[in-house]
């Protein structure tokens, strides 16, 4: 079809858009080149006139008022591709001043494809949101609910969206949760993202704990238009957290109660044991016949065994609580081994055993190690060796790793015996608490089965390792290594001292001492030692009497028991320090509480030193000698 253009439309001939001129009856008058090409490729010659005529009528009917353009998007098949043309109608005046129509077609296929893709994505997203198990919602500036997925509706127990849409989500909250959520919503509309835990009451009245993650939705100008949030119920999590918190609080309370029980048990046992050990010591210094001496030594030995048991239980409890500590410092192992020889000599001789204690020449005069814990380990192992050996030899060998080796320097300790040995079935559990080498041995040999477990854990705490070789019926060897530092090049070598004499220090200056002690037997024990050493002693039976005595007389030193009636030792010390602000008079805490935390507290309230019960005569007199004269720095005894 050839249509000749009128002159005003000639300028449109070569434009890319489609231009179609229709007369008043909507019959085609003229098509530009682009329209003619489109006509041939998509409409065909036979359909073109009727198509444009029909399109003109449709657009004319849609036009709301004269002079206004009307638009419509139509889809076409062009060379097996779908193309989208947006048609616009405009009234024009023809050459004879008759009303004509101008149809302008613009190819919007690319835009339409993007629009369809966007719609597809939105539909996909909508499907995901609808099936999302979390609550997804949009909220307005004033808390009004704009939209909510089915999971959210189920959470608040609404029957459908229409029943709650437009209502305020604030109605689901109260109290602190309401105020927190209002502030949260305000911050979202300020452009901030974040999360919030809060509580709601569902439409049926059920309390639920919620956790919401929210972000602002902005328009093309960057203005926040919606609060978009994903919310989950965390009621079960909150309940479990609360239960865990309560369990932790109960565990902490139990730990405190356990610590208090251990402190009380230590006090209640150590206090009378101080008298038993002390008075039996004093008794052994008096003239005794053979039977009396046997009985007195039996009392003293049994009391020491009981003290060892108490120390094991306390150490085991500290290990369980993770509070057992080591304090490495330069020490002479030769001195420690010499003291062990004194401890075990009589025990070994009484069973007819040969006691062998050897320190290799390679061991330096001084090594950095915790001497108390080291000796405790060897005492436990050697004590077990003597206990479970009826004939032959027991002993300990201490060696030192090759200084030329690339490995860190180690102490190497072997404790051996020719005793009963350990059966194969019991080797795997020998280091367990409350376990002994073979079933039934606790009836024959006694003991708690704690010593080896404590030793093993102490060695691990010191960075070492404990190993065992044993043959049932032939004996056992325990071998452990501990990494150490050799400070020999930077300090004077320690000189081994001979065992201390039991005689009081000659020329000791007599002191005036206030003894605050409520236990009559412990009074007697301490009084005898002090008076025999030449000191003058005033006795107070409680803290109140101690305070009164301190105000009434002058004293060179105060021995203060901690647990006393009326006023305890801690309170009495604090009041005395208020009186004696210069702290010229040393105060010694005499306590059966072996816990380190307690000793630290005594020093903090103004005491100068701590003497643990049970104490020996030598320990008491040496401490007094160290404190006599100038005030000393506080330190643990």
Judged on CB neighbours under 10 Å (0-12, 13-18, 19+), 68 is: exposed
Rounded to an integer, what distance in angstroms lies between the CA atom of residue 337 and that of residue 185? 74
Q: Is the confidence at residue 257, as pLDDT, over 70?
A: yes
Alpha helices in 197-289 (DSSP H): 235-284
Nearest to 483 by CA among 625, 631, 326: 326
The pLDDT assigned to 323 comes to 64
DSSP structure class, residue 40: I
Share of the chain above pLDDT 90, in %: 35
Q: Are 468 and 584 in contact (CB under 8 A)?
A: no
The CA distances from residue 395 to 198, 361, 398, 477, 611, in Å, are 68, 17, 10, 10, 32
The CA distances from residue 450 to 40, 422, 446, 541, in Å, are 103, 16, 12, 37
Query: Of 160-174, 546-560, 583-597, which range is least confident?
Result: 583-597
Q: Is the confidence at residue 274, as pLDDT, over 90?
A: no
The residue among 162 and 99 whose pLDDT is bigger is 162
Rounded to an integer, what distance in angstroms lies between the CA atom of residue 152 and that of residue 231? 8
Task: Out of 77-91, 164-178, 453-467, give the one with best mean pLDDT.
Answer: 164-178
- Helix (H) / strand (E) containing 438: none
Judged on CB neighbours under 10 Å (0-12, 13-18, 19+), 351 is: middle
The pLDDT assigned to 508 comes to 67
Neighbours of 44 (CB within 10 A): 10
pLDDT confidence band for 633 (50 / 70 / 90): very low
Q: Is the confidence at residue 227, as pLDDT, over 90?
A: yes
Share of the chain above pLDDT 70, in %: 82
Q: Is the confidence at residue 503, as pLDDT, over 80?
A: no
Can you name the residues that pair with 416 across neighbouring β-strands?
395, 477
- Helix (H) / strand (E) containing 338: helix 333-350
Rounded to 5°, the CA angle 591-596-601 comes to: 70
The pLDDT assigned to 545 comes to 95
The pTM score is: 0.49
Strands (E) across 53-149 are located at 70-78, 81-93, 99-107, 135-139, 145-148
The pLDDT assigned to 320 comes to 66
Q: Are 155 and 208 in contact (CB under 8 A)?
A: yes
Over range 141-159, report the average pLDDT. 92
Rounded to an integer, what distance in angstroms lies between the CA atom of residue 446 and that of residue 434? 11
Nearest to 484 by CA among 371, 607, 627, 562: 371
**Phi then psi dihedrals of residue 378, to 5 deg:** -65, -40
Task: Out of 9-23, 155-169, 371-385, give the one with best mean pLDDT.
Answer: 155-169
pLDDT confidence band for 127 (50 / 70 / 90): confident
Rounded to an integer, what distance in angstroms lies between the CA atom of residue 200 and that of residue 168? 13
Q: Is the confidence at residue 418, as pLDDT, over 90?
A: yes
Rounded to an integer, what distance in angstroms lies between the CA atom of residue 399 and that of residue 16? 101
Task: Out of 325-339, 396-410, 495-509, 610-624, give the one with best mean pLDDT.
Answer: 610-624
Over range 593-599, report the average pLDDT. 74
In tens, the pLDDT along 168-199 reads: 999 999 999 999 999 999 999 999 999 999 99
Q: Is the confidence at residue 497, as pLDDT, over 50?
A: no
Q: Are 606 and 583 in contact (CB under 8 A)?
A: yes
Residues 6+ apart with CB under 8 A from 328: 368, 369, 370, 485
The residue among 221 and 63 whose pLDDT is bigger is 221
Over range 392-406, report the average pLDDT. 78
């Amino acid at each position: 079809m050839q249509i000749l253009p009128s002159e005003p439309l000639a300028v449109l001939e070569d434009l890319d858009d489609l231009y179609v001129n229709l007369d008043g009856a909507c019959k085609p008058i003229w098509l530009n080149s682009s329209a003619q090409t489109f006509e041939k490729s998509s409409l065909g010659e036979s359909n073109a006139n009727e198509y444009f005529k029909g399109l003109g009528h449709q657009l004319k009917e849609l036009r709301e008022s004269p002079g206004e353009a009307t638009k419509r998007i139509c889809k076409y098949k062009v060379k097996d591709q779908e193309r989208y043309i947006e048609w616009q109608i405009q009234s024009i005046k023809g050459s004879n001043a008759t009303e004509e129509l101008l149809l302008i077609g613009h190819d919007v296929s690319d835009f339409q494809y993007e629009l369809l893709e966007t719609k597809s994505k939105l539909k996909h997203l909508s499907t995901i949101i609808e099936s999302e198990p979390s609550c997804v919602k949009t909220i307005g500036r004033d808390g009004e609910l704009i939209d909510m997925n089915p999971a959210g509706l189920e959470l608040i127990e609404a029957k459908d969206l229409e029943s709650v849409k437009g209502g305020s989500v604030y109605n689901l909250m109260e109290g602190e949760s309401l105020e927190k959520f209002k502030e949260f919503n305000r911050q979202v509309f300020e452009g901030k993202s974040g999360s919030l835990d809060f509580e709601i009451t569902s439409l049926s009245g059920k309390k639920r704990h919620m956790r919401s993650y929210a972000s602002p939705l902005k328009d093309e100008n960057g203005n926040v238009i919606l609060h978009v949030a994903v919310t989950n119920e965390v009621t079960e999590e909150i309940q479990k957290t609360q239960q865990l918190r309560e369990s932790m609080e109960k565990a902490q309370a139990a730990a405190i109660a356990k610590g208090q029980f251990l402190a009380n048990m230590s006090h209640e046992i150590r206090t009378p044991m101080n008298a038993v050990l002390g008075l039996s010591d004093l008794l052994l210094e008096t003239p005794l016949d053979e039977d009396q001496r046997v009985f007195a030594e039996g009392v003293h030995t049994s009391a020491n065994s009981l003290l060892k048991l108490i120390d094991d239980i306390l150490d085991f409890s500290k290990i369980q609580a993770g509070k057992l500590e080591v304090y490495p410092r330069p020490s002479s192992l030769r001195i420690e081994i010499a003291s062990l020889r004194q401890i075990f000599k009589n025990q070994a001789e009484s069973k007819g055993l040969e006691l062998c204690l050897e320190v290799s020449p390679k061991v330096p005069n001084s090594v950095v190690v915790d001497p108390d814990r080291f000796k405790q380990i060897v005492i436990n192992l050697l004590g077990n060796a003597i206990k479970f050996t009826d004939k032959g030899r027991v002993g300990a060998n201490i060696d030192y790793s090759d200084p030329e080796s690339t490995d860190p320097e180690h102490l190497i300790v072997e404790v051996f015996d020719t005793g009963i040995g350990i059966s194969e079935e019991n080797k795997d559990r020998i280091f367990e608490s409350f376990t002994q080498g073979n079933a039934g041995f606790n009836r024959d040999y006694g003991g708690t089965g704690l010593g080896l477990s404590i030793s093993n854990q102490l060695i691990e705490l010191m960075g070492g390792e404990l190993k065992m070789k044993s043959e049932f019926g032939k004996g056992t060897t325990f071998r452990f290594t501990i990494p150490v530092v050799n400070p020999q090049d930077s300090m004077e070598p320690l000189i081994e001292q001979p065992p201390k004499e039991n005689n009081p220090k000659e020329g000791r200056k007599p002191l005036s001492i206030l003894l605050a002690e409520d236990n009559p037997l412990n009074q007697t024990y301490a009084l005898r030692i002090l008076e025999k050493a030449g000191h003058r002693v005033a006795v107070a039976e409680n803290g109140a009497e101690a305070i009164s005595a301190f105000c009434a007389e002058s004293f060179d030193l105060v021995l203060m028991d901690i647990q006393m009636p009326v006023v305890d030792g801690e309170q009495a010390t604090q009041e005395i320090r208020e009186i004696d602000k210069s702290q010229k008079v040393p105060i010694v805490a005499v306590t059966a509480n072996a816990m380190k935390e307690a000793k630290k507290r005594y020093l903090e309230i103004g005491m100068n030193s701590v003497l643990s019960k049970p104490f020996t005569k030598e320990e008491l007199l040496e401490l007094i000698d160290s404190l006599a004269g100038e005030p000393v720095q506080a330190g643990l005894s």
